[in-house]
C-alpha cells in the first residue's frame, strides 16, 4: 500500500475508534428509562430513580418450599426487567448498581440473624461465557452493606442438560432444577443460617432446589433475598 494510502487508512481507523469511544461514553451517561442525562453511578436520572417499582411489602406472599422466608426489593416490571437483562446478558455495571440500590439499610434488617450469603451458582461454562455471576455481584454488594460474608464455595450447580428456566412453566421449572444443586465436597453446613441471594424470583423453583441442597448439607435456616420478584409473589 502506498505511504499516503496507509496514512489515510490509519487516520480513518483513528476517527472510527474515537467515534466508538464517544458513543459508548454518551450511552453510559443516558438514563435507562427516558434516555435523559443519568448519574454515572446509577444509570438513571434523578426523576426515574424515584419512580422505580419498589414492592409495598418486601416479604414474598407465596411460600417457597424449603425456604423459611423470602424478600424482594422491586416488582419485576419495566424498567427493572430491562436492567436485569442488561446486567445478566451484557454485564452492565450501572444496571447492577440500580438493582443493588433496592438493598437499602431498612431492607437489610429483614436478613435477621444470618451467618453467610450464598449467591445462586451458575454452571461453570455459563460463568466463563458471561465472565461474572450477577447473583454473586449482588451478594457482594449486600455483603458490603451488611458485613455478612459471601461464600461462593459452598454450593455448586450441576449440568443436567435441561431447558432454560425462562422457557418453562411453573411445574416444569420445578422438575427442571430438582437436582440442579449440590454441596461441594468437604463442606459442612451444620448449624449455619444462610441467605440465598438472587436477581429475580419467578416461581421460586431455583431457590427451592438450592435451599433443599443447603438443608441436606446441614443448614438450620435458609432465607432468600432477591432484587426483584414477578407478579405472582406480589402482595
Predicted structure pTM score: 0.78
Best CA proximity match to 173, nearest among 219, 230, 133: 230
Nearest CA to 198 out of 116, 98, 100 is that of 100
Rounded CA separation 191/217 (Å): 10
Output the tens digit of pLDDT for each of the chain's 235 residues.
Answer: 555 555 455 555 555 545 543 444 445 567 767 777 776 556 677 777 778 899 989 999 889 999 999 999 999 998 899 889 988 888 887 788 889 989 998 899 988 889 999 999 998 888 888 888 999 999 999 999 999 999 999 999 986 655 455 555 555 555 556 678 999 988 999 999 999 999 999 989 999 999 999 999 999 999 999 999 998 765 5
- Looking at residue 9, what is its pLDDT? 55
Q: Where are the domains of the chain?
A: 53-233
Q: In terms of Cα–Cα distance, which of 35, 34, 14, 17 is closest to 26?
A: 35
What's the DSSP call for residue 112?
Answer: -
The C-alpha R_g of the chain, in whole angstroms, comes to 21
Would you tell me which CATH number, out of the four given (1.20.950.20, 3.40.47.10, 3.40.50.2020, 3.40.50.720), belongs to the domain 53-233?
Answer: 3.40.50.2020
Report the pLDDT value the prediction gives residue 207, as an integer from 0 to 100: 95
Amino acid at each position: 500500500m502506498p505511504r499516503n494510502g496507509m496514512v489515510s487508512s490509519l487516520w480513518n481507523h483513528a476517527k472510527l475508534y474515537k467515534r466508538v469511544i464517544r458513543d459508548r461514553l454518551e450511552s453510559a451517561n443516558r438514563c435507562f428509562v427516558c434516555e435523559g442525562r443519568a448519574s454515572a453511578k446509577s444509570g438513571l436520572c434523578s426523576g426515574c430513580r424515584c419512580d422505580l417499582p419498589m414492592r409495598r411489602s418486601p416479604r414474598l406472599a407465596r411460600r417457597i418450599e424449603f425456604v423459611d422466608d423470602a424478600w424482594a426489593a422491586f416488582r419485576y416490571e419495566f424498567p427493572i426487567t430491562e436492567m436485569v437483562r442488561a446486567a445478566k446478558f451484557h454485564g452492565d455495571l450501572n444496571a447492577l448498581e440500580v438493582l443493588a440500590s433496592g438493598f437499602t439499610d431498612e431492607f437489610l434488617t429483614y436478613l435477621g440473624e444470618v451467618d453467610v450469603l450464598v449467591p445462586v451458582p451458575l454452571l461453570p461454562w455459563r460463568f466463563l461465557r458471561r465472565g461474572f455471576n450477577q447473583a454473586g455481584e449482588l451478594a457482594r454488594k449486600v455483603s458490603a452493606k451488611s458485613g455478612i460474608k459471601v461464600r461462593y464455595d459452598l454450593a455448586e450447580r450441576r449440568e443436567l442438560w435441561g431447558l432454560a428456566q425462562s422457557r418453562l412453566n411453573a411445574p416444569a421449572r420445578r422438575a427442571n432444577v430438582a437436582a440442579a444443586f449440590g454441596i461441594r465436597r468437604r463442606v459442612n453446613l451444620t448449624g449455619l443460617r444462610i441467605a440465598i441471594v438472587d436477581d429475580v424470583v419467578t416461581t421460586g423453583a431455583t431457590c427451592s432446589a438450592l435451599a433443599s441442597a443447603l438443608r441436606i448439607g446441614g443448614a438450620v435456616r435458609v432465607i432468600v433475598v432477591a432484587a426483584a420478584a414477578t407478579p405472582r409473589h406480589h402482595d
